[in-house]
Amino acid sequence: MLNPGATSVDQGCTPDGVCSATSSPDGTLQGFLELPALSENPLEATVTGTSPAGIALPEHTVTFTARGEYPYGEQCGRVISAGLTLDGAGLRQR
């Protein structure tokens, strides 16, 4: 299932270092897939779909590599993730 996408809008920081952001719809659609054993080895993804009118959309395939990061700081553990984008230019890793 795809849901409306959004982008982060920086709202700046206060003098004492508290920063904030808000999200703003950006006209995209996004989905989420959790893989139990995602690694930093190359993977291949194939995306297919059907338009709201019932027309089969072209198949797109890309090879990508997930990355390990500490998005919440090292104290919270390492997260391995990847993002893919499908648009008029095709399917590619973000």
In this prediction, residues 34-60 reach a mean pLDDT of 87
* Closest of 85, 88, 75 to residue 30, by C-alpha: 85
Which of the 8 DSSP states describes residue 2? -
Q: What integer pLDDT is reported at residue 10 of this predicted model?
A: 95
Which of the 8 DSSP states describes residue 17? S
As a whole number of angstroms, the distance between CA 90 and CA 2 comes to 17
pTM of the full structure: 0.64
| Cα 60 versus chain centre, distance | 16
pLDDT in tens, 10-44: 999 999 999 999 999 998 888 887 777 778 889 89
pLDDT in tens, 64-76: 998 889 989 999 9
Q: How wide is the angle at C-alpha 43 spanned by C-alphas 77 and 74, nearest 5°?
A: 10
Q: Where are the domains of the chain?
A: 1-32, 33-94
